[in-house]
Structure 1
Amino acid sequence: MSAVTPLEQDGFTNKGLLRYLNIDIPLRNIYDFIELSRNGIDKKSLLHLAKTIGFELKELALILHMSERTLQRYALSKNLGVEASAKVLQLAKLYAKGEAVFGDLPKFKKWMEHPNYALAMKKPKELLDTTFGFQLLNEELVRIEHGIFA
């Protein structure tokens, strides 16, 4: 077994993530994912993601811990910083996974909007401002995928 785990073995939907960001670069393993975070995601890709998953710029600003005005001032070709890029990639990865689990993006988007008993009656979308929130949602998707409901 290789020391570098292919992303597909982690349940990661490489094709879905890249489609959400409208980028065409190979992500063969976690190191490619790290490198993409370090290089930065440009505003154009961020806006494509926002449109695809139905997020307003204000919602993205909260997740990225940036002001909405700062995001507005970015040129389309300007790259976000490492931390913001990593959050964007986490968000795209979460939605790609959610679409795969639910079999349909609109179904997953609806799930993200409704309070969930397994999440202390919080809307899943409300948990996206922390790494722990992303982790919790990913764990919940794994439970749903395996038929374990709270």
Structure 2
Amino acid sequence: MSIVSEKTKRSGQGKYTVEKLLGIETADNLKLAKKVEAGFSFGALERVGKTAGLSLETLRGAVRITPRTLTRRRKEKKLSPEESDRLVSVSRLLAQTFELFEGNTEAAMRWFQSPNRALNGQSPIEVAATETGAREVENLIGRLEHGVFT
């Protein structure tokens, strides 16, 4: 079971999971890792953007794909394993953000794209471009879930 699936099962929700955002079916993290190693289809990137209401340009930046590489990936219809892994990371944060805002996607996306004092004035999507930054955003979401607003 993936991290987000586990969390959302505990909360009794689960409308937003990494798997649902990516449009894949997987029962656990090992199966997800295999899919990442194979590289997701380009459609997975488009699906996450559409579901989250993010432009492909914004999502491209969060997954660290250059404009030229994005064009190439669109033609190849496939993401690299590294890009796929970063897409999972961003999708995990998006799912957690949607759950934090109890499914209010508009408010969730406004928060996810707005500067945040707890992130030194950067938006969560900007910080999420690296694994270390993604962990910091995840920590912030956890603090907010528990009412710690610093």
Q: TM-score, normalised by structure 2?
A: 0.82
Which residue identity lines up with residue 122 of structure 1 in the other structure? Q
Q: Tell me, in whole angstroms, the C-alpha distance in 2 between the residues paired with 1:47 and 1:75.
A: 10
How far did 1:130 drift? Answer: 0.9
Q: Tell me, in whole angstroms, the C-alpha distance in 1 between the residues paired with 2:51 and 2:39.
A: 19
How far did 1:22 drift? Answer: 2.2
Give runs of aligned pairs for residues 47-86 of structure 1, distance below 5 A.
Answer: 47-75=46-74, 78-86=77-85
Partners of 2:42 and 2:73 within 8 A in 1: yes
Q: Tell me, in whole angstroms, the C-alpha distance in 2 between the residues paired with 1:14 and 1:86.
A: 22
How far did 1:96 drift? Answer: 0.8
Partners of 1:101 and 1:141 within 8 A in 2: yes
Partners of 2:63 and 2:86 within 8 A in 1: yes
How far did 1:77 drift? Answer: 6.8
Partners of 2:62 and 2:125 within 8 A in 1: no
Q: Secondary structure at the match of 2:17?
A: helix
The corresponding residue for 1:100 is 99
Which residue identity lines up with residue 124 of structure 1 in the other structure? P
CA distance 1:113–1:75, change in 2 (3 Å):
closer
Give runs of aligned pairs for residues 1-150 of structure 1, distance below 5 A.
Answer: 7=3, 11=7, 16-23=17-24, 25-26=25-26, 28-75=27-74, 78-103=77-102, 104-150=104-150
Q: Tell me, in whole angstroms, the C-alpha distance in 2 between the residues paired with 1:6 and 1:61.
A: 23
Deviation by residue 1:14-56 (Cα, 9 ceiling, x = unmatched): 9622221223x22x32212211211211101111111222333
Q: Tell me, in whole angstroms, the C-alpha distance in 2 between the residues paired with 1:113 and 1:9.
A: 23
Q: Tell me, in whole angstroms, the C-alpha distance in 1 between the residues paired with 2:124 and 2:132.
A: 12
Q: Tell me, in whole angstroms, the C-alpha distance in 1 between the residues paired with 2:110 and 2:141.
A: 14
Q: Secondary structure at the match of 1:11?
A: helix
> For structure 1, which runs of at least 5 residues remain unmatched after alignment?
none
Q: Tell me, in whole angstroms, the C-alpha distance in 2 between the residues paired with 1:9 and 1:74.
A: 28
RMSD of Structure 2 on Structure 1 (CA): 2.4
CA distance 1:8–1:66, change in 2 (3 Å):
closer
Q: Tell me, in whole angstroms, the C-alpha distance in 2 between the residues paired with 1:98 and 1:65.
A: 20
